[in-house]
Amino acid sequence: MSTEPSPVRHARIAFIGGGNMARSLIGAQMARGVPPAAIRVAEPRADSRKTLAHEFEVATFADNAEAVTGAECIVLAVKPQMMLTVCAGLAGPLRDAGPLVISIAAGIRLAQLEHLLGTRHAIVRCMPNTPALVGAGASGLCANRNVTAGQRALAESILDAAGIVRWIDDESQMDTVTALSGSGPAYFFLLVEAMEDAAVKLGLPRDTARALAAQTCLGAGHMLADGDETAAELRRRVTSPHGTTAAALDAFEQGGFCALVFKALAAARARGAEMSAELDSGA
């Protein structure tokens, strides 16, 4: 009698859209041992389908309805502007099926997805971010009433393979998640860009300024993510009275830095709400 363990059965996942975010999630699943046969990808561009098939050895399709056949989970990895068209094409094929549907489109509410696909579907709304491309993503998730405990675990396993996951109970806060972590990498890149440019103006060579700025932010991020101290505590620890850091922080404060950050996140959050309204008007 064989003593070898039975192979683990993985959920069949269909990705609608084969862009960067889908590729990062597919790669993360592969790294966890999900076999290529468990993943199918619908992608309209022939060159992208060829690349996906070559890189991941997954089945690719030009037709969305064909890709979702037999899937237990469908990841809608398309732009918000494409959601109306994509869901219109999937509503029929999914009518008698019961897969978990995960949407990673910014600003698209659960109620809107239910309206487009049908109210009986189990739907998770997710806001990931681009650091998922390097396994360091941060995703906020919220679920509709139809999502079972098993489906919540499946959604979490798909997203936390590429970073951390936090469930959001109040969907109205998803626009804040979008403003914070969804758009947040761009704020970080802007800060690093500004630090680099400032150092160059103060005399450092460009390559040195870029390397020091990037590594400084990387190291600071590790200290915050890997330790128990808050950002405020870490800031206070490196700020000596009347020192160089204190002088820089005083300049930030005089320029209204914290108020500006709040204004930026509020603007991103408002834009998320506008995108939801635009889908309603389009429907």
pLDDT of 55 over the 70 cut: yes
Q: Domain 13-174: which CATH class?
A: alpha beta
> Which pLDDT score is estimated for 12?
93
User: Could you read off the pLDDT of 152-188 as tens digits, one per residue?
Assistant: 999 999 999 889 999 999 999 999 999 999 999 999 9
CATH class of 184-269: mainly alpha
> Quick one: average pLDDT of 226-252?
95
Contacts 24+ apart (CB under 8 A), 152-157: 152/124, 154/11, 154/72, 154/73, 154/100, 155/73, 155/100, 155/102, 155/124, 155/126, 157/32
Q: Given a cut of 80, is residue 42 above it in pLDDT?
A: yes
- What is the structure's pLDDT at 5? 42
Taking residues 59-70, report their average pLDDT: 94
Average pLDDT over residues 274-278: 81
Q: What is the pLDDT of residue 10?
A: 82
Which two three-digit tokens encode residue 225?
A: 């993510």
pLDDT the model gives residue 258:
95
Total number of residues shown for the chain: 283
Q: C-alpha distances in angstroms, 208 versus 201, 205, 211, 218, 221? A: 13, 5, 5, 15, 20
3-state SS assignment for residue 13: strand
257-261: long-range pairs with CB below 8 Å, 24+:
261/187
Structural domain boundaries in the chain: 13-174, 184-269
Per-residue confidence band for 272, with pLDDT thresholds at 50, 70 and 90 = confident
* Residue 249: band (very low, low, confident or very high) from pLDDT cuts 50, 70, 90: very high
For range 109-135, the mean pLDDT: 92
Per residue in 2-25, pLDDT (tens digit) is 444 434 458 899 999 999 889 989
- Report in angstroms the alpha-carbon separations of 83 from 17, 75, 113, 184, 200: 11, 12, 9, 23, 43
What is the average pLDDT across 121-144?
93
The two three-digit tokens of residue 87, written as one number: 């869901």
pLDDT of 283 reads 52
Per-residue pLDDT, averaged over 194-209, amounts to 97
Residue 224: which residues within 8 A CB-CB, separation 6 or more? 231, 234
pLDDT at 3: 47
Beta strands in 131-227 (DSSP E): 137-143, 163-167
* Residues of the chain above pLDDT 70, percent: 96
Task: Tell me the helices (H) and strands (E) count for the chain, helix number first.
Answer: 12, 8
Cβ neighbourhood burial of 108 (10 Å; 0-12, 13-18, 19+): buried
Which pLDDT score is estimated for 9? Answer: 58
Gap between the Cα atoms of 139 and 75, Å rounded? 14
